[in-house]
Amino acid sequence: MTPAAFHPLARLLHWLMAALILAMLFIGVNMVGDLSPRHPLLVELHKATGLALLVLVILRITLRLALPHPALPGDLPRLQRLAAGASHLLLYGLMLAMPLLGWAMLSAGGYPRPLQLPAIAPHDLQLYAVLRQAHGWAGYLLFATVLLHLGAALVHALVRRDGVLRSMWPGPLHRSE
Amino acid sequence: MTTPLHGPAKALRLAAIGATLAALGAGFAYAAGWIGAPGLTPQRIIDTFEAQAGHYPGYRKNHAKGLCVSGYFQASGQAAALSSARVFSQAQVPVIGRFAIGGANPFAPDTAIPVRSLAIQLSSDDGQVWRTGMNNPPVLAVSTPEGFYQQVLAGAPDPATGKPDPAKLQAFFASHPESAAFRQWAASYKPSDSFASTTYNSINAFRLIDAQGNAHPVRWALEPQTPFAALPAQIDDKQFLQHDLQQRLARGPLRWTLRLTLAEPGDPVDDPARPWPAERRSIDAGTLVLEQVDAPEQGACRDLNFDPLILPHGIEPSADPILAARSAAYSVSFNRRSHEALSEGARP
């Protein structure tokens, strides 16, 4: 049976990760141009949060595959339906790719990794260059996709008024509808 | 379910949504330093090095000319009570290092540059890594990254002579009285005839953390066990120091004592321009033994970033603002040369 809303655990994960991912994007883009004493603190925070997000996204993907989730409104045009599917795939892909790229890039750059994690790529300067740039560009793409996702959620809630945002709402759900 | 909106109400809400997204985007651009007036950035420092010395793809953007070496560190055990870092108790810690001369020109004659450096990586058997980049001056001329940037600008080569303008340098030192200790060192400095007989200083302070969690502010230096001999006045070999190092290592290992100098309350632990009183307690933490040297810019050190904030458990950074700035700028240099290696195949 298709539920009207996401499972409470899925909603909790969604909003926790939303906050962490937005913070990570702002920290990441800020720290690379910063040379103040804040710089090393931001880098440490970025690595630790990235690792936490990797664990969370694996849990999240597992839940997404295991739990039933609400369907999109029946009257949604085909193109928007496709866009919703594609943008969610992209979001999941980027959420998984970002921490893995970060980990691989530290490995390829010959840098130590948090918690002494093993290297997942060989120490190679050219490979590092590819991964470092991929991490940066994937970050910009993730931010753009997050904006699109937020914009679409707000259109659903404020313009279409179709209950899509409500299905992911962090608070208790009203049963009146 | 409520009905969808139409007409002006819909337009208003769409505009509000657009404004929300634009505000988030603007915040992101501000955080990235794309809008507004960001202060000094690590990118600007590296840009300035390249603008002054020239663009040498694939090379480090400072201390560009160097040699990889390898060997080991033998702890004396005396520092183990001050820091829980394994390097201070392990019998023999593998070391990868790099000798270099200062400046962004990888083709400068070895003896034309007063600044010499030794960077090492110690990999202890608990999986921890310690990287430290040390220079021959014991202090810097400046206390802040902004001061350092002003110093770099003041040292820009004059297009007419190809050398820094003495008047600009004098004006810089006059407006930076914190440079007194550095100027005193520079005036009395007698260059040795070898990397092997040079002292290398951490300059920045760090904190040793002992097993009880107590912090001990510290600076360190590698003191040569090779006796001093003055650099000859006339040298034609542009690779003088490199050739000398190769010849010495062909004859046998070279040794330095790692000396830790401990601060006392009130000492300037976050100011790299100010020396500590000479009578401060120091301990011999062990001996660095270098055994092998690779061909210029080849070997294990080449693709490493000797970020001074890569520290093992038991050593922490001080609040010295230059330390954070070094970490940020080294990262930009590393990223650029890796990019150059990828896009242009540029390798030193």
Chain B residues closer than 8 Å to A161 by CB: 1-5
B191 in Cβ contact with B137 (< 8 Å): no
Rounded to a whole number of angstroms, the distance from the CA of A159 to the nearest CA of chain B is 5
B195 in Cβ contact with B118 (< 8 Å): yes
B13 found inside a domain: no
Question: pTM for the complete prediction?
Answer: 0.94
Separation CA B48–CA A18 (nearest Å):
39
What is the DSSP secondary-structure string of B33-96? Answer: TSSS-----HHHHHHHHHHHH---TTS-SSS-EEEEEEEEEEE-STTTTT---GGGTSS-EEEE
B53 found inside a domain: yes
DSSP H/E element including B216: strand B215-224
pLDDT at B212: 98
Separation CA B39–CA B53 (nearest Å):
23
Q: Cβ contact (<8 Å) for A38 and B329? A: no
- The structural domain count of chain B equals 1
Q: Which two tokens stand for residue B230?
A: 């003055």
DSSP H/E element including A15: helix A8-31
Active site members of B? 63
Q: Cβ contact (<8 Å) for B20 and A40? A: no
Structural domain that includes position B47: 40-343
B235 in Cβ contact with B192 (< 8 Å): no
A126-169 pLDDT, tens digit each: 999 999 999 999 999 999 999 999 999 999 999 999 999 999 99
B26 found inside a domain: no
DSSP H/E element including B129: strand B129-135
Chain B residues closer than 8 Å to A147 by CB: 21, 24-25
Q: Cβ contact (<8 Å) for A132 and B20? A: no
* A176 has a chain B CB within 8 A of its CB: no
Mean pLDDT of B89-104: 97
Q: What is the identity of the amino acid at B339?
A: H
pLDDT at A173: 67
Chain B residues closer than 8 Å to A128 by CB: 303, 338
Separation CA B348–CA B341 (nearest Å):
9
pLDDT at A177: 40
B105 found inside a domain: yes
pLDDT at A1: 64
pLDDT at A175: 53
ipTM of the complex: 0.94
Compare all CA atoms of chain B with the CA of A107 and give the residue at the minimum distance. B304
B32 found inside a domain: no
Mean pLDDT of B219-235: 96
B11 found inside a domain: no
| A116: DSSP letter | G
Which residue of A39, A109, A154 is in closest CB contact with B328? Answer: A39
DSSP H/E element including B290: strand B282-293
Separation CA A131–CA A126 (nearest Å):
9
CATH code for the domain in which residue B109 is found: 2.40.180.10
Q: Cβ contact (<8 Å) for B40 and A132? A: no
Contacts of B20 (CB under 8 A, 6+ apart): A150, A151, A154
Which residue of A35, A143, A161 is in closest CB contact with B41? Answer: A35
Provide the number of CB pairs (under 8 Å) joining chain A to chain B: 121
User: φ and ψ at A155, to 5 degrees?
Assistant: -65, -45
Separation CA A8–CA B242 (nearest Å):
66
Please count the CA atoms within 13 angstroms of the CA of A106 that sit on its side-chain side.
Answer: 21
Give which of A72, A99, A96 is closest to A156, Cα–Cα: A72
B10 found inside a domain: no
Lowest model confidence (mean pLDDT) among B117-126, B191-200, B295-304: B295-304
Q: Which two tokens stand for residue B148?
A: 């350092």
Q: Is B200 part of any known ligand binding site?
A: no
Which residue of A39, A129, A161 is in closest CB contact with B339? Answer: A129
pLDDT value at A176 more than 50: no
B230-256 pLDDT, tens digit each: 999 999 999 999 999 999 999 999 999
Chain A residues closer than 8 Å to B10 by CB: 159
Separation CA A23–CA B301 (nearest Å):
35
Chain A residues closer than 8 Å to B13 by CB: 158-159
Question: Rounded mean pLDDT of chain B?
Answer: 95
Q: Cβ contact (<8 Å) for B20 and A150? A: yes
